[in-house]
Amino acid sequence: MERRTFLQRSAYTLALVAIRPLHALAAGGTPGRSYYVDGASGDDGRDAGSATQAWRSLGRLNQARFGPGDRIFFRRGADYPGVFAPKGSGHAGAPIVVDAYGDGAPPHLHADGSAASTVLLRNVEYWTLRNLSISNRGAAAAPRRTAVHLLHDDVGVVHGIELRGLHIHDVNGSPIKRDGGGSAILVEAKGKGRPTRHEGLLILDNTIERCQRDGILFLRAGNRAGGLATGVIVRGNRLSGVPGDCILVKGCDGALVERNTVSRCGDLPRGEAAAGIWPFDCDNTTIQYNEVSDHKAHADGQAYDADFHCRGTIIQYNYSHDNVGGMALVCNDGRDPKGIGNSGTIVRYNVSINDALRKTGSASLRISGPVDGSQVYNNIIIIPAKPDAGAEVTVFKATSWKGVPSSTAIHDNIVVAPSPPGIDMKLATQTRLGENHFAENKAMLESFRTHRPSLAQVNALVKACFVNGKPAADAMERIARLA
């Protein structure tokens, strides 16, 4: 190594002193630069460093490269046509934050069908988007249209992406899944040369309306060969007018899906299968404190689902009502005998009111295919008179899907119905049916025919109605008071 003089060494040391604090400050969360954008009165020829020097367009933003601690502010009440596809990444403790400033309605970003997505975060990490309005409605519906696309390909572990407080609306994708569908938020991590997965992906407190086909859709956040995504939380989102899969997480380990509300789902074409909230190819998913209502898919149509390639799913403390397919589905396609299958699903402490509305074939909870070791207990299922005279009243049902369920435990559930409901588990093997409690109270059921308590009320009810895993002595009285 070449010998340095004292002056050279001193200059080198001073350079390090000058450089290191900048990196340390960024890593420690000290702000980088602020950029302002004003779609009404901005000018792309300015420097964007203040509200009076704001840029105008998404195109100008896409020319820049952002770094740790940078902040991008869109003026409220203004309109931003086109695609926002920024470059650069933040840092641990210093994400790049996109937010709103000023007064009025949230800034509205919209591609108007000119591109597949309005916001594209591609191969970047440590980004936070909040307080924006985002749509993508074209002149005609088109497949794979979305509002926010998280697209990562051959980049390894993707850290720290957060979508919070967004209003995502009016995305007219295709209603047909095999054609490519459509979504409000699309998560896609893939990699042939370098396994790619998310770590610390947060989707929080967003409002999603009138999006076709799906709402929050994970094509994959990771995979079993290269690693499942970790630290994934989907919380506090409110979805309405989403007729397909409202929240679908895929390729995750330990995902938490909680306190989301799904309502007014709408219709899909006949033959399209969809459900409210569910994991696919995931381990240890927890789905809790959610409310799903009015799912109308012609196939499936349940509020909740633990699908195939899933292990250790817990569906608990949820509320479902007025879903045509039922409260929950647990399923596995038996055509893949060497696959992960579906094992260890737990469905407990949920409240279902007026679900399973089809005249035939539906049940409050259906278990389909070679599902192993499911446990269904401590749920409250309230079944008012069916809308179709003579409709089946079935609470638990096993069906075949290239195989049948095994080792299912069903016990200590409370069912209120106008007549003794059916339990159809004859196709399953090694089913353990413990004591389940049935009550007939026509006055109560008549009240529940139109009355829907709140999520907080049903959560309090289910916690009070079970003591040490058994129905409390006053459980029926508590249910009657809620009616």
Q: Note the pLDDT tens digit of each residue in 291-337.
A: 999 999 989 999 999 999 999 999 999 999 999 999 999 999 988 77
Average confidence score pLDDT of the chain: 92
H or E element that contains 208: strand 207-212
- What is the model's pLDDT at position 80? 98
pTM: 0.93
Q: Do residues 363 and 356 lie in contact, with contact meaning Cβ atoms separated by under 8 Å? A: yes
**Rounded mean pLDDT, 182-207:** 97
Domains of the chain by range and CATH? 30-450 (2.160.20.10)
pLDDT above 70 for 5: no
pLDDT above 80 for 171: yes
pLDDT above 70 for 13: no
- Reported as a single tens digit per residue, the pLDDT across 22-40 is 333 344 445 799 999 999 9
pLDDT above 80 for 184: yes
Class of residue 92 by CB neighbours under 10 A (exposed 0-12, middle 13-18, buried 19+): middle
Q: How far is CA 423 from the centre of its chain?
A: 31
pLDDT above 90 for 177: yes
* SS3 state at 189: strand
Quote the crossing angle between the two packed helices 475-482 and 455-465, to the nearest 10°.
Answer: 170
pLDDT above 50 for 234: yes
Distance between CA atoms of residues 175 and 428, nearest Å: 34
**Rounded mean pLDDT, 96-109:** 98
Give residue 151's identity as a one-letter amino acid code: L
**Rounded mean pLDDT, 389-411:** 93
Q: Do residues 124 and 89 lie in contact, with contact meaning Cβ atoms separated by under 8 Å? A: yes
Distance between CA atoms of residues 38 and 24, nearest Å: 32
- What is the model's pLDDT at position 30? 54
- Reported as a single tens digit per residue, the pLDDT across 444-457 is 999 998 999 999 99
pLDDT above 70 for 10: no
